[in-house]
Amino acid sequence: MDIGNSNRISREYIDSLRVETRYLDAVCPTINFELYGERFASPVMTAALSHLDHFMFEGAALALAQGAAAAGAVLWYGMAGEDEIDRLADTGARMIEIIKPYRDREAIYRKLRHAEARGLLAVGVDIDHAFGPEGGLDVVGEDVMFPLTTEELRQLCAATRLPLIVKGVLSARDADKCLAAGARGLVLSHHNNRIEYALPPLALLPEIAALAGDTPLFVDCELRTGMDAFKALALGAKGACIGRPLMTAIKQGGADGVRDYLLKANGELKKAMAFTGCPDLNHIDPTIIRRV
């Protein structure tokens, strides 16, 4: 594998994190939590996958949504038309839609209005998909992307009643600008190796968490298990997003496969918390985590 592959680097960083065990006075933990005023079974979520019906098979995206709904998990989803967003929302999954940084800025506002009309849990904008492999503007299908300015982000935050989340944050610099613009959540992500040698999102979590205060942070990239989620939560994340493993789960078991994978991850998270003396999500102690 390419030595600069950011997925590999992220996985190696996650695996370098060890946990203390703390058994005395420990209890069976609870993992339910609140996000944007709603209660959920677990902070283990789907990542913002896109184009599943195109890259996998017809109905793959629906299986993801149905599985998330059955597990009581937050569903994130990426680039999709309004009809697809409607089908996914109709499953009952509480959904966060991530919108690309279209050069046609009105397209972003149309999607914001649609997400609001559908009553989604939140909506987000992707800042790391503006540029393509050779440094020019990215093109997805017929849609040309364009980098957002901080002022444009401020206007987007003000344009919707939904919490607006920024995805693709991987520096304290961008985090500070997003927070100043009014973002109500940040996703730390290098978007599946969009740039080589990217810092692992978990490596930046403590620094950005110190800036974010009560603003929820989410993380993706190479998270696979409940133990991975536990490490992310201990370092400052509010939610942990699992992506590619759920694509395998869809292939193997459809919606049931997604549900079962998420529930298994929930059990792994509970085990990690029980063995480290964390009774609930508010008492996960960051000093449990050691890097070796």
Closest CA to 45 of 231, 273, 258, 286: 258
What pairing do the DSSP bridges indicate for beta strands 17-19 and 289-291? Answer: antiparallel
Q: What φ, ψ does residue 35 adopt, rounded to 5°?
A: -140, 120
Closest CA to 273 of 265, 284, 262: 284
* Radius of gyration of the chain, Cα coordinates, nearest whole angstrom: 18
Question: Who contacts 68 (Cβ-Cβ below 8 Å, separation ≥6)?
Answer: 45, 46, 74, 75, 91, 93, 258, 259, 262
What pairing do the DSSP bridges indicate for beta strands 122-126 and 164-169? Answer: parallel
Catalytic residue among 51, 54, 191, 283: 191
Whether 129 is a known active-site residue: answer: no
Q: Which residues are catalytic?
A: 191
